[in-house]
């Protein structure tokens, strides 16, 4: 029994280290496309329950709509647009700057998914989302760090939630100037395979965590 308990402790520590930060599921999206992301808050603060979560909307992410998550109160915070958008029904001069879920109580031993749907900007790379987590003991966990020029995060940091947003159009980086339909299809197939692989890895982590 003692042996089992210590193996459990080691496994739990490794998992906590590997999966401690806020993640977006699914972790991938398509350039310029509509997407849905669940921001997973995996633990509280020093054992205390989480009572507020704010997701800051990255610049150029639009059409943001949060999922209602009773009993949490969901607040949409609007900010001015740099350049107002003219539409047939008038001028749009504000956009969603952040979404806050407050008034809930998420114990440290549970996780929760805070959902958003949104339209992604046109890009090809990693999109970082700042997430601010507040707990009943007054502690903040601010998930805002991005990798340095060397591609590495600071040690013991609080990385921002990230997702890979890809332009699946056969790229300018391609070696053949005249892209055939076959090339486009194989590129899409490769992309699909890598997304599936990532989803499986994430799924396996969640499975292990749920077994514990």
Ligand X SMILES: *[C@@H]1O[C@H](CO)[C@@H](O)[C@H](O)[C@H]1NC(C)=O
Which residues of this chain interact with ligand X, rule CB under 6 A? Answer: 31-32, 46-48, 80, 90-91, 93, 122, 124, 132, 137, 139-140, 142, 166-167, 169, 171-173, 177-178
- Cβ 97 to ligand X, closest distance in Å? 12
> Given the complex with ligand X, which of 103 and 171 has the nearer CB atom?
171
**What are 162's strand-pairing partners?**
128
> Given the complex with ligand X, which of 19 and 48 has the nearer CB atom?
48
- Cβ 162 to ligand X, closest distance in Å? 14
The C-alpha atoms of residue 212 and residue 45 are separated, in whole angstroms, by 20
Buried b (16+ CB within 10 A) or exposed e, 63-100: ebebeeeeebeeeeeeeeeeeeeeeeeeeeeebbebbb
> Given the complex with ligand X, which of 124 and 195 has the nearer CB atom?
124
> Given the complex with ligand X, which of 137 and 193 has the nearer CB atom?
137
- Cβ 3 to ligand X, closest distance in Å? 27
Q: What is the dihedral sign for C-alpha 111, 116, 119, 121?
A: negative
> Given the complex with ligand X, which of 30 and 206 has the nearer CB atom?
30
- Cβ 1 to ligand X, closest distance in Å? 26
What CA–CA distances, in Å, run from 176 to 20, 51, 170, 179, 184? 42, 53, 10, 6, 11
- Cβ 180 to ligand X, closest distance in Å? 10
Residue 112 token pair? 């929760």
């Amino acid at each position: 029994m003692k042996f089992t308990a210590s193996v459990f402790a080691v496994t739990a520590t490794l998992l906590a280290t590997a999966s401690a930060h806020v993640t977006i599921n699914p972790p991938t999206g398509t350039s310029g496309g509509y997407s849905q992301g669940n921001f997973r808050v995996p633990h509280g603060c020093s054992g205390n329950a989480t009572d507020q979560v704010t997701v800051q909307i990255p610049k150029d992410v639009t059409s943001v709509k949060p999922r209602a998550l009773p009993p949490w109160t969901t607040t949409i915070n609007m900010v001015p647009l740099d350049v107002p958008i003219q539409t047939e029904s008038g001028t749009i001069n504000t956009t969603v700057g952040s979404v806050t879920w407050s008034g809930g109580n998420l114990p440290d031993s549970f996780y929760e998914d805070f959902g958003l749907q949104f339209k992604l900007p046109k890009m090809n790379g990693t999109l970082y989302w700042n997430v601010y987590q507040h707990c009943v003991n007054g502690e903040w966990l601010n998930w805002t760090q991005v990798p340095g020029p060397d591609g590495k995060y600071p040690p013991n940091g609080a990385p921002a939630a990230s997702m890979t947003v890809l332009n699946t159009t056969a790229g300018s980086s391609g070696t053949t100037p005249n892209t055939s339909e076959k090339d486009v299809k194989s590129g899409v197939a490769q992309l699909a395979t890598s997304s599936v692989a990532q989803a499986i890895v994430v799924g396996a982590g969640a499975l292990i965590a749920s077994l514990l």
